[in-house]
Amino acid sequence: MVSFETNRFIISLYPYLTNLLDITMNKRTAAIVAILTLGYSSLFAGGILTNTNQSAHFIRMVARDASTQIDAAYTNPAGLVKLEDGFHFSFTNQSAFQTRTITSTFAPFAFNGGNATKEFKGTASAPIIPSLQAAYKKGRWVLSGNIAVSGGGGKATFNDGLPSFEAGLAVLPGALTGMQLPTTQYSVDAYMTGSSFIYGAQMGGSYAINDMFSAYAGFRLNIVNNGYEGYLKNIKINPTHPILNPTGAMISAKDFFTAIGQTQLAESVADREIDNKQSGWGVNPILGLNFNHKGLNIGVKYEFKTSLDVESKTVDGKDGGLAQFKDGVNTPHDIPALLTVGASYQILPNLTASVGYHHFFDSDAKMADDKQKDAGSTNEYLFGAEYHINRMFLISAGGQITRYGVTDNYQKDLSFSLNSYSIGLGGAVNVSPTVRINAGYFWTTYSDYTKEPGGGIGTLITSKDVFSRTNKVFAAGVDFSF
């Protein structure tokens, strides 16, 4: 039986604690989901929601925006007019692996493990990412297509949550101690896994205006499929209470609040689950131009913004108590417009150098929670070279510098973008005059971003957050013509 004085004291602070637990449960879950929703495209080269590495050719050389080979079906479709008449195909599989780490400092974290600085790590992997490029050329005309993962492309798992996930829970011991219920520890079982894929099917036609100029017009159908499963459960605290917990042992937070007659608080710390899928589709036009003269080739491509929403479907009502996971809820998921410009020059009969530039119009694409307001624009600078050792073997390498235009408000554990540089290298083997095998390895080095004070929820702001990432991609593919 709880004493009248103790119960009256808890009731007097009930509004404060209710607000605190609302932040703790609802907003922490939203933070985990948001990083899954917004972070998948980073498995690949490209902007916030776009993949640009769609073939082994890119992985081994990087700068392919002026390509006139079969991979130009994606990178420079107007340049396909330089192919020989006939059918041309290229098949690639990529394997991508990434880590995301937030090292966060917040004094109350010491209530769970004894250290005010904690590392929160998420892993994402996509071992099978296939893509297909195809073209048929006849005279001045080329009909081409591309099927690939045009955005997203992975599965991410967070076993320990995020700083904003933990911050709301971390302050509970201090809050309860201030309510004459000495508390020194908290714990929670947290798990979230999610997958995000944007499947792109592109089709269009190219026409050789003359020997130097050619043009392309086409479109891409983008189909979005996201899935999320996870839970927050078994929340425990160790409040010392003369009757309910005289030894200060770790006990169920829900049971404790139930015992002192606080039903709403008990519901706030109850187990929650998410089992949700999101889907949607949209179409964007694509235009391209190509110029070729005496060893110089220049390619230009513009992809219009894809306007689309994703619709939420929840399994057995498991929406985690979050509005965006209710059945039928639509969330903005636009794919930004993209401008690419590339140039290649044949320095020697067996040596070609290339450069490229990408500009993503991120701030014009609507995103969940109006994130586009802080997204700015992304710029990428690419370079590469290809050397033919002989008729059978070639080697290639290249690099990419990525600079994001995101503001400080964008840089949070639920969605952060880091400037980076990437290196790709590999080669190809001409097995026969009509068959070539391509292979490459691509890795990215990111610049850590330090934010002081860090992020959080409401007034719960960490002292410092350091964001970091790693990324590596392996690719192999085959080109063939007939």
Residue with tokens 């690099």: 399
pLDDT at residue 164 greater than cutoff 90: no
pLDDT at residue 436 greater than cutoff 80: yes
Mean pLDDT of 125-145: 95
What's residue 413's pLDDT? 76
pLDDT at residue 395 greater than cutoff 70: yes
Residue with tokens 């890795």: 443
Domain ranges within the chain, ordered by starting residue? 4-481
Mean pLDDT of the residues in the chain: 86
Q: Report which residue type is found at 8.
A: R
Given a contact cutoff of 8 angstroms between Cβ atoms, the answer to whether 136 and 142 are in contact is: yes
Per-residue pLDDT tens over the stretch 259-273: 988 888 788 788 888
pLDDT at residue 6 greater than cutoff 50: no
Residue 132: pLDDT band (50, 70, 90) is very high
Q: Which residue has the higher pLDDT, 454 or 428?
A: 428
Work out the percent of the chain whose per-residue pLDDT is above 70: 87
pLDDT at residue 96 greater than cutoff 50: yes
Q: Where are the alpha helices (DSSP H) in 151-227?
A: 163-170, 172-177
Residue 274: pLDDT band (50, 70, 90) is confident
User: What gap in Å lies between CA 92 and CA 51, rounded to an integer?
Assistant: 14
DSSP string, 309-331: EEEEEEEEEEETT-GGGSTT-EE
Contacts of 432 (CB under 8 A, 6+ apart): none
Tell me the pTM.
0.86
pLDDT at residue 148 greater than cutoff 90: yes
What's residue 2's pLDDT? 41
Residue 163: pLDDT band (50, 70, 90) is confident
Per-residue pLDDT tens over the stretch 222-261: 999 988 888 888 889 999 999 999 999 999 999 998 998 8
pLDDT at residue 8 greater than cutoff 50: no
Residue 151: pLDDT band (50, 70, 90) is confident
- What is the CATH code of the structural domain delimited by 4-481? 2.40.160.60
User: What gap in Å lies between CA 288 and CA 219, rounded to an integer?
Assistant: 11
Given a contact cutoff of 8 angstroms between Cβ atoms, the answer to whether 35 and 122 are in contact is: yes
pLDDT at residue 13 greater than cutoff 50: no
Q: Report which residue type is found at 322.
A: L
Per-residue pLDDT tens over the stretch 457-479: 666 788 999 999 999 999 999 99
Contacts of 29 (CB under 8 A, 6+ apart): 165, 232, 272, 274, 320, 321, 322
pLDDT at residue 364 greater than cutoff 80: yes
What's residue 139's pLDDT? 97
